[in-house]
Chain A
């Protein structure tokens, strides 16, 4: 491996931090070491909250996600195999990468793919970097989902790769009903509580298939990211019989 490490002169390039900050202070007429005396404005929920209820969140989420152009499926835990099989077959997917942080779910999906005969690409292998652009489908779980917008939220970590939900043309996301929150406000109030792993580096809110309207304003899906996003909503809240 020839990954050069940073030379020491690369650490602090440009203007000295104190000089830079002094210029900002000068522009504001502020003194070094001052503190904020006025209250920092809090988010006014009465203005900004758009999902006012905690009722029927899965139905609201499904509705909004569909409006964004994502396909919605519902499954009980024991129906998951059939649902995944249908989607992969419909889009003629021969191989898939699984990037699932939830251990039980990961085990289950791995078995499903084995039964289906779908080739499994390992995102932990050294060939993943180049391989990710040739995989037919990426299957992930999520950190959380939002009823307000229909967004799914995925953090990267030791078990979830950034490429798995971006590079393949098809993304299947597994959302458990207990993970669905009402509003963006609810998520960002306690983002860290929803992380699968602490101290991770990237979280993405996905709100539809990859889109562009750069050519004459005509909407095209699947420009860089997946053109198709399927969401399977798994009911983990209803009491099973």
Chain B
């Protein structure tokens, strides 16, 4: 894939493939501070989501999530019709719509438009799709200076770092690293005060907004029947991006469409509550084509680049529901594994957390991301948090199934699961096997000071390389049960 070959620097979101997770997890597990940041931020956001959603919807919360999921699912089931309708209505509104089959094509279209319009300075608001296609470095390589204007993304750009959360991109960084970056790159006086740091960024970027001749944004929703593009932001940079530059390019995945404008409130009511425990984002901007003749400001030209880049491959499968995702990040905040692995970088891809664990292998190939379907305890917290009711645990299990059926899993692994299935179906054999296993495992743990099994013998070595086991207790649950119920099995 071109996205991956254009990189020679180390980029956690576009790593060498196939990607194995062990190294970055081990690094994160040893980084106590990182775990504290991610833990504090995600648990607070998760609690906030539950409180604000229960407060607003009370006992209707689950039904509202299902309702939003139904509207999105209907749209996906008829996506051919709705994409066509959107192209027509956006064109009628005065926008030019382009179709990009791949990341490379999407980058190419944007650069061609920028060059044809002699753009020199681009202000960009936060967008996951532009991360997905790795747009910024391509723009810079073409001589178009590009400034990330979302505060978090701006800091990450200054540090040549990568975002680690869909909604809170610099969840892995603290104020000291911001202070150092501003002092080094913007030559401002060192301060760790978040208020002052924000002020510095504000002043710096206002001049850029005034100079910029190109604004690039993503989109949270596209409205099929009106051709509207909807942006949800909190800082106001999204609004400025579509106000001062003379040209606006929207990058958006085809799955962002909803049928009608009157469907929008359902999603507006869920998105900000799920993402940041706000009733609605501070700015909800609805754009219907470029600036009209008599209007005072806004872009003269608006281009919308619709992106496939693997989405039709997901649409084809029984994982279609994954495309309902509205990128709120609630599943990341709810996920105990995301917290433990130190946030998004460990997933080796733009989309992280439970949603990323499913869509990354689907978009880039299971063989390229064989670990991701296993980066979950299947506890179900992501499913409960999802505002569009995506059954993420079910999809993870499906991927694990696919790994066996399409032989992504090595033969030894597939044989071991076969054997395990035979044992599980026979109670007597299971009892015998688990007794022998417990004996062996205890013996192995004794030879190790930690009391844990870190490395299995022979063919188990590979499997246990990413899994540590506590030694089983000498008394099994079955023994305990039998003793306390007088040997009566129920």
Contact = CB atoms under 8 A, between A and B. Distances in A.
Bind each other: yes
Nearest to B192: A215
Chain A interface SS verdict (over half): loop
Interface stretch (B25-33, B230-238, B352-360, B370-378): B230-238
Interface in B281-335: 281-292, 294-298, 300-301, 305-306, 308, 312-313, 315-316
A206 B282 CA distance: 5
Contacts of B312: 23-24, 26-27
A160 B280 contact: no
A4 B116 contact: yes
B259 A40 contact: yes
A234 B228 CA distance: 31
A4 B118 contact: yes
Contacts of A161: 296-297
A214 B80 CA distance: 38
Interface residues of B, number: 111
A158 B64 contact: no
Contact of A162 (B67, B152, B254, B297): B297
A157 interface: yes
A216 interface: yes
Given A17-B99, A129-B244, A220 B198 contact: yes
Interface of A: 2-4, 6-7, 9-17, 19-21, 23-28, 30, 34-36, 38, 40-41, 43-44, 47-48, 50, 64, 68, 99, 123-124, 128-130, 132-133, 148-151, 156-158, 160-163, 166-167, 183-185, 187-189, 191, 199-218, 220, 222-226
Given A24-B315, A201-B292, 18 more contacts: A4-B118, A19-B99, A24-B80, A50-B56, A68-B282, A162-B298, A167-B206, A184-B280, A188-B265, A199-B292, A202-B285, A207-B283, A210-B236, A210-B282, A211-B234, A215-B194, A218-B194, A223-B237
22 contacts: A10-B96, A10-B116, A13-B108, A14-B305, A24-B83, A43-B266, A44-B67, A48-B67, A158-B294, A158-B295, A158-B296, A162-B243, A162-B296, A163-B240, A166-B239, A166-B243, A200-B292, A202-B242, A204-B283, A214-B150, A217-B41, A220-B195
Interface of B: 37, 40-41, 44, 56-57, 60, 63-64, 67, 70-71, 74, 77-81, 83-84, 87, 93-94, 96-101, 105-106, 108-109, 112-113, 116-118, 149-152, 155, 168-170, 174-175, 178, 194-195, 197-198, 201-202, 205-207, 209-210, 234-237, 239-240, 242-244, 246, 254, 259-266, 268-269, 276, 278-292, 294-298, 300-301, 305-306, 308, 312-313, 315-316
